[in-house]
């Protein structure tokens, strides 16, 4: 059985020592969805939400979230991200806003948590901006869909 990397032999939480790892280009992509009423999605698409442009604000929030990951998730390394992209698309057939975030860097540890944080914060921002008209929205399917770089190689969901 594999040993958890963030727990030492005495059961204490530890930040993993990555100093001996090679610096490689690392990329991670995560996705999430926000399900809502048809009317809510129409408001977003028509810029009718009183708090402002939901997609633009959520995009910016996702980028900021990726940069704040080590402040939010214990034991995450502070990373010098070279790129963060967050894309939000509306799908009227499913009444959903789909969110995709990709984070990149050249470093000794991966950027999976940054990509996952980015989509989570973007989804929470969509919820926050629209909750006055649709409290039944659901944030779903937060997941890693791609990871590359480092010793463990490439992962595709």
Would you name the residues annotated as active-site residues?
Answer: 128
Provide φ and ψ at 58, rounded to 5°: -65, -35
- The DSSP H or E segment spanning 63 is helix 54-67
Contacting residues for 61 by C-beta, under 8 A, at least 6 apart: 121, 122, 124, 125
Q: Quote the CA–CA distance of 19 and 24 in Å, as a whole number.
A: 13
Please, what sign has the CA dihedral across residues 7, 77, 61, 32?
negative
Alpha helix stretches (DSSP H) within the chain:
38-45, 54-67, 69-72, 112-130
44, 93 contact by CB (below 8 A): no
């Amino acid at each position: 059985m594999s040993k958890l990397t963030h727990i030492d032999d005495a059961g204490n939480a530890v930040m993993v020592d990555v100093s001996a790892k090679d610096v490689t280009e690392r990329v991670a992509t995560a996705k999430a969805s926000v399900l809502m009423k048809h009317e809510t999605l129409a408001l977003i698409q028509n810029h009718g939400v009183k708090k402002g442009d939901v997609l633009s604000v959520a995009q910016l929030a996702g980028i900021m979230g990726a940069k704040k990951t080590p402040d939010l998730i214990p034991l995450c390394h502070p990373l010098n991200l070279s790129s963060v992209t967050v894309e939000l698309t509306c799908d009227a057939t499913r009444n959903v806003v789909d969110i995709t975030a990709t984070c990149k860097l050249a470093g000794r540890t991966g950027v999976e948590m940054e990509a996952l944080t980015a989509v989570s914060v973007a989804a929470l921002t969509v919820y926050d901006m629209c909750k006055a008209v649709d409290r039944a929205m659901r944030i779903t399917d937060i997941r890693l869909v791609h990871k590359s770089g480092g010793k463990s190689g490439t992962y595709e969901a």
